[in-house]
Chains A and B, each alone.
Chain A
Amino acid sequence: MSEHPNDYIKPELMACCGARHIRDNDVVIVGTGFPTMAANIAKHTHAPNATMMQESGVFDARPARPALSVGDPCLNPGAAMVGGLIEVMGMFLQGGWVDCGFLSGAQVDKFGNINTTVIGDYNKPKSRLPGSGGANPIGALAKRVLIIALHDKRSLAERVDFITTPGYLDGPGAREKWGLPPDTGPEVIVTNKAVMHFDKDTKEAYLTSWHPDTNIDEVVSLTPWKLKVSDDAHETEPPTAEELRVLREVLDPFRMIKIYEKRGYI
């Protein structure tokens, strides 16, 4: 087996890209799907001391199967602590103890603002979405936020229809103006085509790597804002054999991750 097997699917690559942004000892707040897989890949490879919590009130769960929701019954037995929203969202997140959060949404814009509320006008919606849930507080208060998105002109936007969850709002200084905690905000957008980081000065997302089956031109043409390209932009490192082994053998033996292909992550 080579160090980078060729038979991975795109969602597996995306989960690995997410995992690489988790550091050892991070406290990570996760939802289901990508976030849990990414956090667990990290935990089984370079970040063994990372711990996960679910906003529903669970800390350091050891579920016997992949959780299907943030309140899945399988999260109860074996967890280190079970409380509720006040404990996880109030004490831990608002208290400033969460290092890393994962978010996704129907729309993500160049400042990392996320829309999960409405497509179209709020009062005359084209499509009404579920709302914030825990996304707004995670985007506001986690030290680093990793965003997962589809790379097309519907899902990415120059400006989202509705800012449910704050990225850098309207640019440099905006989070500070509103009193959000210092040194917080989105760190990276991982899409099915590329990885984008946020410019320290302009707070705009720019291209740092493109996935193996695409190229800079395609990524730029699929991005609805004038996408800047990092000087050291490169091809995304494919999943390693070890990352894939952990994902397929330990975390997701039934390969539930394939459902993301049906959702367009190809």
Chain B
Amino acid sequence: MSKVMTIKDAVEKNINNGDFLFIGGYVCRPPFSAVHEIIRQHKTDLTIARSNAADDFDMLIGAGCVKRFISTFISLGLYGLARCYRRSIEKGIPNKIELEEYTNLSLPMMFMAGAMGMPFVPVKDMVGTDMMKIRSFMGENKYRMIDSPFDGKPVMLVPALNPDVAIIHVQQADENGNAQMWGIGGDCKWGANAAKKVIVTCERIISRETIGKDPSRTIVPAFKVAAVCEEPFGAHPGYTPGFYDVDFSFGYVYQQATNTVEGFQSFLDEWVFGVKDRNEYIQHYINRFGFAQYKKLQARFDYGYPVSYSY
């Protein structure tokens, strides 16, 4: 059964106000076209999570979509601290989000536990630090310390996380939702598989036969997927390995814009509310920065030596 639909339909049908979202994309493959659509549809009271959050999370926070953030880290990379996030935490603009903080070890482990149906997972980090002193909306359930029943030593347990929806951007998927990813993975595979359902956006939709040419690339199987949206350039200004590079100059445009509330609003007006979908976004990008700049980001295809699965 085909699950192919527009990102507008995918967000409308699958994301409710108040939902808990995993949003994939540790540095690479941030699902920006979906993030823009969430903002366009004014979704609110969301809980959002990913290891090493970046400009996509900053944008959702600035746009007022977020109530709670299960965080490990958030910055604009080369461009320093995330401005909308800081305004939220320091000044309550547009609203003060609630934070629960983990690390780039413990949060992926919590998604792994969620994906595997385990209630919790022991981790060896965070102990002894001030990260243990702060508890927010998860209260006592942020973590528990026990003595290991096996060696009696203290061990921290952190709870499994099962988001309502995971949104991931991958290189390719078939119309049923088998999603293939390559390159740096971050916590994408585990966040997606921990979720009750998955929205897959991809650079291209391919046949089931092509999926089978290299099945080791599939990170989410079709039965977990609720929607498949073909969104070329869907991770811009982030990168998608094999398709396009990080757009550092656009990162600077975002950083400059977000120095003020007004600047952020006009950024949204131009790049989110000013276009109705990814095609218009790409067209606007080309109009604004030129086709040469768009072309410069695109990857040169390098097929290398294919793996053989033959006998």
Contacts and interface: CB of A to CB of B under 8 A. Distances in A.
Whether A associates with B in a native complex is: yes
Interface of A: 54-58, 68-73, 75-77, 82-87, 89-90, 93-94, 113, 117, 122, 125, 127-137, 140-141, 162-166, 169, 174-175, 177-181
Contacts of B129: 113, 136, 163-166, 169
A130 to B, nearest CB: 4
B127 A140 contact: yes
Nearest to B239: A73
Nearest to A75: B184
Given A72-B27, A128-B90, A174 B128 contact: yes
A89 B90 contact: no
Contacts of B74: 130-131
Contacts of A70: 27
Interface of B: 26-28, 51-52, 71-75, 77-78, 81-82, 85-86, 89-90, 101-106, 108-109, 112, 123-131, 134, 153-155, 182-190, 239, 241, 245-246, 248, 302
A252 to B, nearest CB: 16
B125 A140 contact: yes
Contacts of A141: 105, 124-125
Contacts of A140: 124-127
A131 B128 contact: no
A178 B27 contact: no
Contacts of A83: 185
B28 A132 contact: no
Contacts of B126: 136, 140
Nearest to B304: A77
A85 B26 contact: yes
A76 B183 contact: yes
A131 B72 contact: yes
Nearest to A55: B104
B105 A57 contact: no
27 contacts: A56-B52, A56-B185, A57-B185, A57-B186, A58-B184, A69-B77, A73-B28, A73-B246, A82-B183, A85-B104, A93-B105, A94-B124, A128-B81, A129-B81, A130-B75, A131-B72, A132-B102, A132-B131, A133-B103, A133-B104, A134-B105, A140-B124, A163-B128, A165-B129, A169-B129, A177-B128, A179-B154
Contact of B184 (A84, A125, A166): A84
A86 B125 contact: no
Contact of B101 (A125, A131, A134): A131
B104 A84 contact: no
A122 B134 contact: yes
A83 to B, nearest CB: 6
A140 B128 CA distance: 9
Nearest to B28: A71
B184 A71 contact: yes
A132 B128 contact: no
Contacts of A179: 124, 127, 153-155
A164 B130 contact: yes
A134 B103 contact: yes
Most buried by B among A72, A137, A162: A137
B27 A86 contact: no
A135 B185 CA distance: 19
A163 B124 contact: no
The 9 closest A-B pairs by CB, nearest first: A71-B27, A84-B185, A133-B73, A137-B105, A178-B128, A137-B125, A134-B104, A178-B127, A85-B108
A136 B103 contact: yes
Given A56-B52, A86-B190, A132-B101, 10 more contacts: A57-B186, A84-B184, A85-B105, A85-B186, A94-B123, A125-B89, A131-B73, A133-B104, A137-B125, A140-B124
B108 to A, nearest CB: 4
With a 10 A CB-CB cut-off, give which of A57, A113, A125 has the most chain B CB atoms: A57
Contacts of A122: 130, 134
A158 to B, nearest CB: 16
A57 B25 CA distance: 13
A72 B108 CA distance: 20
Given A69-B78, A84-B185, A86-B109, A166 B27 contact: no
A132 B73 contact: yes
Nearest to B125: A137
A128 B86 contact: yes
Nearest to B85: A128
Nearest to B82: A130
Contact of B71 (A90, A131, A164): A131
A83 B78 CA distance: 23
